[in-house]
Structure formats: structure tokens, C-alpha cells
Amino acid sequence: MVGSTMEGLGVSGARGEAALARSIELGLDRAYRIARAILTDDLEAQDAVQDACLTAWRQGGSLRQADRFEPWFDRIVVNGCRDRLRRRQRQRVRAVALEAAWRAEGEGTVPDPAEQARDDQLDRAFDRLDPDHRIVVLMRYWMDLSVDDIAARLGVPQGTVKSRLHYALRELRSDLEASHGRA
């Protein structure tokens, strides 16, 4: 899954900077997976992670608990991706690169057409979710985070997290039912 390998940070001075750089380096795979999942675009995910790394580097002094690097960095990545998603919605830019990668991964196999159609419907329903809803769905059902952890990462009350999850699932279900009706 998302996975991570973290070491404790130092806190200040050259050692602290070296430790922060090391943590960023170790967190790159996780950050890239998160950004890729939110943005569903490989290249934009790379840009988002690069921006997030620089933000983390500049703001590292505000990270008080070394072992909190992962949720802190997650939050920076997620916020950056959310901003990009919102801009993308305004610009109506469609991402196709990642879709191509998924298709390529499936080459050589012969999927059940009905199963493939169901997967496609679910993928499209997920991709149509509002950015905030998409993010909490990923954090809950892909990253397996608790409501408390999601709230901490997003800086919102637990009630907001749960409300977003509730509405996101309702939208997914409604979208799937509509797709089924059209089929």
C-alpha cells in the first residue's frame, strides 16, 4: 500500500537539516503514491511532490516532533494536490497519462468484460468525486487511516471527515446506480 520507512529526525542545525533532507528522501515514494492517487496524473503528481518537498524543506523548522514527519508531510502533499485539483476543475483539464499506465498494466491479460465494465464504472465515479471527498476516500479506504488520523492530517474536525466520507460514498453509490441504469 502506501508504505513508508521513516527514521527519527534531528531537530536543529546542520544535523537537523540533514535529517530533514533524509526524511524527505525516504518519504518520496509515499508522497508520490498519494499525489498520484489524488491527481490521477503521473506528471502532475511529480510536480506536486516536488513543490511539497520544497515546502517541507522551508517549513521544517515548524516540525516540532520528529516522529510526526509522516503526517506532517502527508498534509503538505494533500493540501498541494487539493489546490491543484481545484485549479484543474476550473480549467477543465483532463488527465490521460495515468489512465494509459493502468491500461498498459493490464495488457497481456484478458479481463472478464463484465468485471472490467464494473471496474470502469467505479473508477469513473471515483474520479468524478469532489476533491475533498476524493481525498478522504483515499485516506480511509486506501491508506487505511482512522478518522482521527485523517482529521489530524487535514486539520479539520472529525465530524467533517465523517460527513465527507458519508457524502462521498453516497455519491459513488448514486453514480454507480445511474451507470447501471444506463447500461
Partner 1 sequence: MDEPELEARLRARLHVRFDGAAAPARLRDAVAADLTASNQPHGRRFVPAGWSRQLLAIAAVVVAVVVVAVTLRFSMLPGEVGPGGSASGSPGPTASPSASVAPSGSPAPTVPQPTVPPASTIAWTALDVATLSGAPVQASAVVPWSGGYLAWGQATADGSAQLWRSTDGRSWTVEVPTVTPAGSSLGEVQSGTACGDRVILITFDSASASDQAWSSADGTTWQRMSGADATFDVAGGPSGAIMALDSGPKIAFSADCTAWQTETLPGPANLSVGAVAPSGSGFVAAGYSGQTESNDVRPLAWWSADGVDWNAATVQAKPGDGFVQLYAARDGLIAVSTEPGVTPGLSSLWTSADGRRWQADQADPLGTIAAGEGVGSLASSFSGDGTRLLAYGTRNDAAGPIEYWTSFDGSHWTQLSLGGANASTMLADSEARPFLMRDGVLVSGTSASWFGAARAP
Q: Which of 4, 6, 55, 179 is close enough to bind partner 1 by CB under 8 A? A: 55
Query: Residue 114 CB, nearest distance to partner 1 (Å)?
Result: 13
Q: Applying CB under 8 A, does 26 fall inside the site for partner 1?
A: no
Q: Which of 4, 23, 109, 118 is close enough to bind partner 1 by CB under 8 A? A: 118
Q: By CB under 8 A, what part of segment 73-112 binds partner 1?
A: 75-76, 79-80, 82, 88-89, 93-104
62/108 with CB nearer partner 1: 62
Q: Applying CB under 8 A, does 179 fall inside the site for partner 1?
A: no
Q: Applying CB under 8 A, does 7 fall inside the site for partner 1?
A: no
Q: Which of 23, 72, 81, 84 is close enough to bind partner 1 by CB under 8 A? A: 72
Q: Applying CB under 8 A, does 139 fall inside the site for partner 1?
A: no
CA distance 39 to 81: 7
Site size toward partner 1, by CB under 8 A: 101
Query: Residue 65 CB, nearest distance to partner 1 (Å)?
Result: 5
Query: Who's near 129: CB < 8 A, 6+ residues apart?
Result: 137, 168, 171, 172
Q: Applying CB under 8 A, does 54 fall inside the site for partner 1?
A: yes
Q: Applying CB under 8 A, does 183 fall inside the site for partner 1?
A: no
